[in-house]
Amino acid sequence: MEYFLKKGIIFFIFILGVLSFYETPSVYADKAVIQVDHLNVRNGPGTDYDRIGKVHTGETYTILEEKDNWLKIKRSGKDGWVAKWLTKVKAEQATSGSYSSKYDYLRIRSAPNLDGKIEGYLMKGDVVEPKKKDGKWVYVQKGNTKGWVHGDYLTKDNRETHEPPKEKEADEDQSSTVKGTVKVGTAVLNVRSDNSTRGRILTTIRKGETYEYIAKKDRWYQIKYSSGKTGWVAGWLVNETDNNQTNTPTSKNTYVSLSYNGTNLRSGPSTNYKIVGRGNKGDRFEIISKEGQWYKISYNSKTAYVAGWIVEEVNHESVSTAPKTSNSLKGKTIMIDAGHGGRDPGAVGRSGSYEKTLTLDTAFILKSQLESNGAKVLMTRTNDEYISLSIRSFHSNRSNADAFISLHYNAAPVNVIASGLNSYYYSSKDKALADSLQASIVAHTGLRDRGTKKGNFHVIRENNKPSVLLELGFLSDAREEQTVKTRSYQTKASQGITEGLIHYFN
């Protein structure tokens, strides 16, 4: 009897072990991308379990377990379960091979998140070999600096060695084969000796002019600009065209010049049509056709309409002979103030983005834009450090800055729905600057126009320079947060600020 009892106990333990094996949850390296807003997170795999939080469209989480068509996801607070059919599962791929940085000043952090301390930077084109991966973050080493960078800002490097084949590049540079044409999309654009913002400035070209290009590298075009001379222009400041125009606009081209600030550009030839953008006094757009009293114009690589009674029609000669200094910032000094920093994160977005990070990212892009248009740029901070408001205004007051621009991103309480752009001024003498910037940023980004307002903010209240504080979008709005986080949006906003300053000074 004792023998059978022992065998029974052993068999029971074996069965428990087998059951435990099958109950062990599978561990996934895959990601769940949320497809709806306000998706409930529960403490178990089913609608009968209690809700412990919510997640939102576009947010991505590591999958810890799957059961009965439910996914257990890893969250910064408490892990929980979401309905699999309301997500999109994305397989996690291993990182191998060499990658290069897409941008200058890509931050290397001590941890795979925005809280990680900045250990150093990658410059555009720097090649690294990721050692390991955590979500979208990859671990890299540059010289003696080791840390994490976000994978979205790296691109696969297909070169066999880290050094470019110089003879081949030299042959390409000398090639005269025309591959297409590009049209300048910003007021004044620098032509450089190399495909980098560190390249020497060879000359400047103007908005609306069209040039043949003979090579494309990264996001830069090598153009032919004068008597066979070639140089590089930033691809994000030009628009590729599909015609074979010559390297300057033809004399038959005609333009409209706007007569007033804040001119509405519409989707059709009537005030009943939707506003698709705004322009300011002196802005010029190429005419496509005329419909009644309205002009159909080329606008941001698309088309728009403007009322004929608030514009002046000009031909190419009057455009090309305008003084070059009228549309540049040469001789102007601009101070950029990236809001918050260090122990002060500012607003925190729905997906966890920090205002202090976005303002600094935007500040560097804006710096490049302003310098490309001839301005000298000063910055209140160039890294993730805390600087008091009084120090910011102090630096501005003792500088020779012609304008002070404070960059911010907005947030509203959880129960308030808000989106769009604001420009704030304190002194009435600065309202014109705020109006010019607001109209130009809205036109470039397409975000909701919340207008210009008087704001009692320290950095503009205690400032004796022309000064404004810009709120460039709401991080508390899930969709708008995803938009303003992108480099594309920040580039458009920076272009708007740059052209707004040009209009203000001229």
Residue 142 φ/ψ, nearest 5 degrees:
-125, 110
d(CA 57, CA 59) in angstroms, rounded, equals: 6
d(CA 92, CA 72): 16
Phi, psi for residue 502 in degrees, rounded to 5? -60, -45
Q: How far apart are CA 372 and CA 247, in angstroms?
A: 21
Determine which helix (DSSP H) or strand (DSSP E) holds 365, and give its type and residue range: helix 355-372
Helix axes 487-505, 431-445, angle to 10 degrees: 140
Would you tell me the crossing angle of helices 355-372 and 487-505 to the nearest 10 degrees? Answer: 50
Instruction: State how far the Cα of 75 lies from the Cα of 60, in Å rounded to an integer.
Output: 10
Query: What 8-state DSSP symbol labels residue 236?
Result: G
- Taking the C-alpha atoms of residue 310 and residue 356, their distance in angstroms, rounded to an integer, is 41
- Measured from the Cβ of residue 216, the count of other Cβ atoms closer than 10 Å reads 16
Sheet holding 294-299, edge to edge: 275-279, 263-266, 302-307, 294-299, 284-291, 254-258, 311-315
Is residue 499 a contact partner of residue 186, using CB atoms and an 8 Å limit?
Answer: yes
Report DSSP letters for 96-139, one per residue.
-S-EEESSTTEEEESSSSTTSPEEEEE-TT-EE---EEETTEEE
**Residue of 355, 471, 480, 499 marked catalytic:** 471
Sheet holding 449-454, edge to edge: 376-379, 333-338, 403-410, 467-474, 421-425, 449-454
Structure tokens at 448: 């909701």
* 471 catalytic residue (yes or no): yes
**503 token code pair:** 């209009």
Question: 372 and 495 in contact (C-beta within 8 Å)?
Answer: no
Residue 221 β-bridge partners? 216, 233
Give the alpha-carbon dihedral of 340, 344, 350, 352, to 10 degrees.
110
Compute the CA torsion angle 52, 58, 63, 67 (nearest 10 deg).
Answer: 70
- Starting at the earlier edge strand, list the strands of the sheet with 229-234: 201-206, 188-192, 229-234, 220-226, 210-217, 180-184, 238-241
Catalytic residue annotation: 471
